[in-house]
Amino acid sequence: MLPTFHWSDYLVFGISLICYSLIGIYHRYHDVIFGKLTNCFRGINFQPKVRKKMNVEELFLGDRNLTLLPIVGSVMASFLSAVGILGTASEAYQCGIQFITLVGGYCIAFPLAAYVYMPVFYKLRLNSAHEYLEMRFGKLVRWTASLVFLLQMGGIRAVVWVDLFQLIVLISGFCLITLLITLKVGGFQRLWGIVIDGQRVQSFDFSIDPFKRHTLWTLIIGGTGLVLSIFGANQTQIQRYMACRDLKTARRAILLNIPLTSVFLAVQLFTGLAIYAYFAGCDPVLNGSIKRYDQILPYIVMILFDGVLLVRGIFLSVIFAAALSTVSSGVNSLANVCLEDLIRPLYIHWRHVDISERSKYRLAIFLGILFGTLTVSLAFIFTLSSSHILQISFSLFGAIGGPVLTVFTAGIFFPCINAEGGLCALISGVICGLWICIGNTFITSRTDNDRLPLTIENCSSKILQNISSSIVTGTTNTSITTVNIIKTTTWSFYSLSYLYYATACLIVGIPVGFIISGITGFNSRSQVNPRLLAWQARSFYRHFPNWLPPQTANDQEFNPISSTYIEKTEILDMKLPRLQVINNNNNNNNSINRK
* Residue 562 placed within a domain: yes
Beta bridge partners, 66, equal 244
Residue at which a domain ends, from 516, 543, 564: 516
pLDDT number for residue 564: 33
Q: How many CB atoms lie within 10 A of CB 577?
A: 7
Whether residue 349 is found in the same domain as residue 435: yes
Helix (H, G, I), strand (E, B) or coil at 66: strand
Residues 6+ apart with CB under 8 A from 72: 252, 253, 256, 257, 260
**Of 24, 48, 33, 330, the residue nearest 157 (C-alpha):** 24
* Residue 523 placed within a domain: no
pLDDT number for residue 106: 93
Whether residue 60 is found in the same domain as residue 184: yes
Whether residue 232 is found in the same domain as residue 321: yes
Using pLDDT thresholds of 50, 70 and 90, give the confidence band for residue 21: low
Task: Confirm if 273 and 97 have CB atoms less than 8 A apart.
Answer: yes
Whether residue 281 is found in the same domain as residue 252: yes
Whether residue 55 is found in the same domain as residue 161: yes
pLDDT number for residue 585: 42
Q: How many CB atoms lie within 10 A of CB 246?
A: 13
Residue at which a domain ends, from 460, 486, 516: 516
- Whether residue 70 is predicted with pLDDT greater than 80 in this model: the reply is no
- Whether residue 236 is predicted with pLDDT greater than 90 in this model: the reply is no
pLDDT number for residue 49: 46
Whether residue 324 is found in the same domain as residue 349: yes
* Residue 545 placed within a domain: yes
Whether residue 464 is found in the same domain as residue 578: no
Comparing 368 with 153, the larger pLDDT belongs to 368
Percent of the chain with pLDDT over 70: 62
* Residue 152 placed within a domain: yes
- Whether residue 176 is predicted with pLDDT greater than 70 in this model: the reply is yes
Helix (H, G, I), strand (E, B) or coil at 370: helix
Residues 6+ apart with CB under 8 A from 444: 492, 494, 495
Measured between alpha carbons, how far apart are the two ends of the chain, in Å?
94
Segment 277-316, tens digit of pLDDT? 888 888 888 888 888 888 888 888 788 777 777 777 777 7
Give the CB-side neighbour count of residue 455, counting CA atoms within 13 A: 13
Say which amino acid occupies 94.
Answer: Q
161 φ, ψ to 5°? -70, -35
Residue at which a domain ends, from 470, 493, 516: 516
Q: How many residues does the chain have?
A: 595
Whether residue 539 is found in the same domain as residue 456: no
Task: Tell me the range of 91-105, 430-444, 529-543, 567-581 where mean pLDDT is highest.
Answer: 91-105
| Mean pLDDT of all residues belonging to the chain | 72
* Residue 81 placed within a domain: yes
Residue-wise DSSP of 287-348:
TTS-S-GGGHHHHHHHHHTTT-TTHHHHHHHHHHHHHHHHHHHHHHHHHHHIIIIIIHHHHH
Lowest mean pLDDT among 138-147, 200-209, 456-465: 456-465
* Residue 298 placed within a domain: yes
Whether residue 508 is found in the same domain as residue 577: no
Task: Confirm if 399 and 433 have CB atoms less than 8 A apart.
Answer: yes
* Residue 2 placed within a domain: no
* Residue 343 placed within a domain: yes
- Whether residue 59 is predicted with pLDDT greater than 60 in this model: the reply is no
Residues 6+ apart with CB under 8 A from 371: 153, 330, 331, 334, 335, 338
Whether residue 151 is found in the same domain as residue 122: yes
Segment 322-358, tens digit of pLDDT? 666 566 655 666 676 677 767 887 788 788 788 887 7
Whether residue 410 is found in the same domain as residue 548: no
Distances (CA, A) of 157 to 70, 234, 242: 9, 18, 12
pLDDT number for residue 12: 79
Segment 191-221, tens digit of pLDDT? 888 888 888 887 788 888 888 888 999 999 9
Structural domain for 463, as ranges:
7-516
| Domain count along the chain | 2
How far is Cα 530 from Cα 175, in angstroms, rounded to an integer? 48
Q: Any idea what the CATH number is for the domain that residue 501 is in?
A: 1.20.1730.10
Segment 378-419, tens digit of pLDDT? 666 656 555 677 787 788 788 888 988 999 999 999 888 888
Whether residue 104 is found in the same domain as residue 159: yes
